[in-house]
Chain A
Amino acid sequence: MFYYVDVSGADLKPDSFEELAMPLFDQLFNFARWMTQNREEAEDLVQETYTKALKGFSSFQLGTNFRAWMYRILRNTFLTSRTGLKVTMTVPLDTEEGGPEFAIESDTPETLMFERSNRELLQGAMDELPINFREILLLCEVEEMSYQEIAETLSVPIGTVMSRLSRARRALRDRLRAPLQKSGTAGIAKGTVTKGTNHGL
C-alpha cells in the first residue's frame, strides 16, 4: 500500500497529518519494536517520531511518499539514540559483491521452515540479524515496500537496496540452516523433507 500525498500545500494542516499518520501507527510500532528490541524504547521512539513528523509536516515535500517519510524519521531518530548508535557499531559494511544465490542441492532452510512452521525460530533468527539486514527485510517483506520506497526510506541507491537485501536473505538462511538441521534431524531422517521438493506447485 502506498501513501502518496497529492494534496496542495494549503491543505497540509495538522488534521491531515493525523489522518495520514495514525493509520501507520501499528506498523511503525512493530518496526520500532523490531529495531529497539524493547517495548518501552519502541514506545518512546514512536512518540518521538510522531512529534518530529508533526513539527516537520509543513516541510513535507508534496508528491513524495508519506509512508517512506515517516519511516525515515523513525529510522533517523533510532539511529541517533543510544541503542541505535550501539547497534550500528557492529553493522557489517555493504558491498556490491553479493554474488548470485543458487539452488541449494540439499534441504533448504525454506523447505525445513515450511515443514516445521517454526515461526519462533524465524523470529529468533531475525532478532539476531545485524540491524541493517533486519530493517531491510522488514521493509521489503512485512511492509511490502518497493525497492524505490526502501531506497527513499533508507536514503540509499536502489543498487544498494538490492545487494543489501540479497545479503540479508542469505544471512537469514545461514542462521536458520544450522539450528533447523540440528533440531530437525529426526524429521528429515524420516523423509518428510525431500530434495527439491515442489509440493504445491
Chain B
Amino acid sequence: MLESKIDTREELINALTEAAELEHGLLCQYLFAALSIKKHPTEGATLPQLELLRSWETHILRVAREEMAHLGTVTNLLTAIGGGPQFRRPNFPQPSRYFPEPAKGGIGQVEFVLEAFSARALERFIRFEAPEEELKLTLEAIGPDPIGYDTVGDLYTQIREAFETLDERELFIGPRAAQDTDDWSANLKIRNVVDRATAVEAINDIIEEGEAAPTKLPTSHWATFVRISEELEEEVKQDPNFDPARPVVSNPLTRQHRDSSPGATIINDPDTLEIAELFNAVYGTMMLMLMQFYSFAGESTEQREGLRATARQMMSGVVRPLGEILTQLPARDDLPGRTAGPGFEFYTDLRVPGDRRNSWMIIHERLAHEAEGCRRLAVKTGAPQRLAYLQENLEGLARNTQRFMNQEEL
C-alpha cells in the first residue's frame, strides 16, 4: 500500500470530473430540500414558524448557488489543464456512487438522494460538507488511481496537492479564452484559473466556503447546515408536531432510468407527470446552454453573454419556480396526500453539436417547444396559476435566443 497521490494529468482530470459531478449532485439535493420547505400557513405551520422556515430556505438556496459557482470554478480548473467541461451526472438516486471508501473512523458512504428537508436530510448535508480529517490510502497502479475521499473537502485537498506538485509549465495547456470570469448573479464569483497560484487559490476558496468552522466563516456550508439542524431540533422540542416540509416523496421520477438505482418513486398522476417532464426538459436545456458556454466554440462576446444570461434566467425564471410547483402536486394515486418534486432527470446523454449554428438552433427549438408545452399545461382545468407566467418566460427566452441564432446565419 502506497499513499494515494494524484500525479498525472489524467488523474487530475478524473478527480476534477468527479468534483464537478459531486458539486452538481449536491446542488440538486440542496435545491430539492429547499424547495420542499413549507411557505404558507395553509400548509400547517404557524406564521412565526414560517419565518424560521424562510430563513432556512434562504440559507440552503444560498449554499446551492455557491455550489453552482463551485461547479463553474471546477470547470475552469478542468479547462485550464486541457480537460472538457463535465455537466453529466447519473440520475438519482445514487446510494453508493460517491464517498466510496470510508476513511479510518469515517462515517462511510452517504447516499445521493432527493428527499424533503428534514433532520435526516440535514445530517447527510452536514456529512457532505464536514471538515476533512485525513487523506485516503489507495493502491498505486499503471492505470489511473481510483479516487478515494471521505468528504468534499477531502477530494479538493487531494486536487490541490496535485496542482501544487505537478509541473506547472506542462499542466496549464487550456485556452485562456475558455475561462469563465463573469459575475453570474448576486455576487457569485467564479474563479479564473490560468496557473498554479490561481488554481490553488480557487480550490482554497471552495474548501473554505464548504467546510470552514463557524468561528472562521459562519456562512460556510458545513456551519450553515449545523446551525439549521440545531434550530430545527430546538423548534421540534418546542412543538413536537412541527413538520417543516411539504409531504414530498423521495426521488420523484417520471420513469426508471438505466443509470439510477432502486429507490425512485415513479410519478403516476397524469397531470403532475407532464409538468415533471416539462421540468426535466427545461433543466436539460439549461444544461445544454452551460455546456455550450463552457465548451467555447468561438462564440462572439455577445453570444457568450447571451448564453450566460439565458442560463441564469432559466434558473430563476423557470427551473426554480417549476420545481417548487411540483412539490405541491400529487405524486401517485396510491400515495394520497404525498406530493412530487423536481427529479433533475436526464433522459439521454446531452451533447453539444460541433457546429455553432446547430447548437443555437437546438436550444431555440427546445425553448419554443417547452413554451408550447407549458402553454398547453397552463390552460388545463385546475392547472397551477404560476404556469401561465412561466409560459411567458419561456416564450421570452425563446425569442431572446432567436436573436443569437440569427447572428449565426449572417
Answer yes or no: are A and B bound together in one complex.
no
Q: Chain B residues in contact with chain A, CB under 8 A?
A: none
Q: Chain A residues in contact with chain B, CB under 8 A?
A: none
